[in-house]
Structure 1
């Protein structure tokens, strides 16, 4: 189940930035990249088609959260882009997640966001008014995601063992907030190294600035790839 390639977060504002960045990798290197809101809203479907045209895999990270019918219709559109994985917010509910699965079809992976890795327990309790522990909230959302028939969740690496213990070992845990040892945490509250994420059982990891802002992105990627591989 574990994806051998770290997913690179293409957090850029334009297609030209993406082209310049990807050109710094060997042409034969087939990457797995994340296209998030900033880039997708700036460029649109064109960026997905461009990246797929180079032979790379795409995780389209749009975190859909709306009424079931709207999410289902949106997923039908995303399915036409032949993305490899996309996501919704688990907080949208089981019916919304089921509708998303129906709209996307059975080919691409479909996962749900539990709690953002930028969210602390204090923030969750005070702002969302969820009066449990952060871990309990994450596991609850993960169980509802499985109930809806999705493939897995986005979660912090610290929660992987709890989720897999509560659901199944083949339930996908994609973990953002991955930083090589010694890197700054940035705006992530719950972070982990590639080695630790592998040992704890993460299936996919997402790495952004340690690669995209490196002087030599291909070399930085290779280092993280090797740490992830062990």
Structure 2
């Protein structure tokens, strides 16, 4: 199975999001809609339009609430035909979201530790573990909850794969191709290295959407991904 590139539409205007999609053309078939786009660019309607056009959509909403609310929220996203939805990787939350997505093609992803966080940030948040230890715990809980995959730094991908087995998705933000700035990300890795570590989906936003030629930037990342091979079933 080949790994997939997901482009983050991290913009506040639907017109700009649609322009990026148009510029990328057939180079990219998978898009992430996060907070900025969802709330600032009519992201729900945009996502539905992309799905209708044959694209895959990842709603990165990181749901966390009481079980009933999470379940109903996941069911509402499932009804759009979306491919991925993120929730915080707490056991009750993941189980509720899985229940809401039952009978659909929506795959629930548990967010472990944000790629903008390091060990000190995890400690400051009150966890008695380092980042890798917390990711390992969340990966085990995601596996036990029966969801589709997890979101983790590429630095933890190899370790996570040993915990969750070969079938679950590992979606990795914090991907920076050669020559790209890390920005506010702390645990970053190149595309080939992330694939070699076991990632199944790479999420890239700024290095593509802020490039002078987004399609050329995406093709470069896809080429780097191919050189990483595959390490998952």
After TM superposition, is the score higher than 0.5? Answer: yes
Please name the residue that 2:53 is paired with.
Answer: 54
For 1:23, what is the secondary structure of its paired residue? helix
Once the two structures are TM-superposed, the CA of residue 53 in structure 1 deviates from its matched residue by 2.4
2: CA distance between counterparts of 1:166 and 1:86?
A: 21
Match among 96, 111, 134 for residue 109 of structure 2:
111
Are 1:123 and 2:116 an aligned pair?
Answer: no
Once the two structures are TM-superposed, the CA of residue 173 in structure 1 deviates from its matched residue by 1.0
Are 1:95 and 2:92 an aligned pair?
Answer: yes
Would you say the 8 A contact 1:75–1:100 is kept in 2? yes
Would you say the 8 A contact 2:7–2:205 is kept in 1? yes
Would you say the 8 A contact 1:153–1:174 is kept in 2? yes
1: CA distance between counterparts of 2:10 and 2:197?
A: 26
Root-mean-square deviation (CA, aligned residues, Å) is 1.3
Once the two structures are TM-superposed, the CA of residue 29 in structure 1 deviates from its matched residue by 4.3
Note the residue ranges of structure 2 that are not aligned, 5 or more in a row. 228-233
For 1:179, what is the secondary structure of its paired residue? coil
1: CA distance between counterparts of 2:113 and 2:151?
A: 8
Are 1:8 and 2:13 an aligned pair?
Answer: no
Please name the residue that 2:187 is paired with.
Answer: 190
Would you say the 8 A contact 1:2–1:202 is kept in 2? no
1: CA distance between counterparts of 2:34 and 2:2?
A: 22
- Normalised to the residue count of structure 1, the TM-score between the two structures is 0.93
2: CA distance between counterparts of 1:2 and 1:125?
A: 36
- Check 1:44–1:217 CA distance in 2 against 1; reply closer, same or farther (3 A cut): closer
Please name the residue that 1:208 is paired with.
Answer: 205
Note the residue ranges of structure 1 that are not aligned, 5 or more in a row. none
Moved over 3 A (4+): none
- Check 1:44–1:210 CA distance in 2 against 1; reply closer, same or farther (3 A cut): closer
1: CA distance between counterparts of 2:92 and 2:195?
A: 32
Would you say the 8 A contact 1:30–1:57 is kept in 2? no
Please name the residue that 1:68 is paired with.
Answer: 67
Are 1:161 and 2:158 an aligned pair?
Answer: yes
Once the two structures are TM-superposed, the CA of residue 24 in structure 1 deviates from its matched residue by 1.2
Would you say the 8 A contact 1:214–1:220 is kept in 2? yes
- Check 1:23–1:151 CA distance in 2 against 1; reply closer, same or farther (3 A cut): same
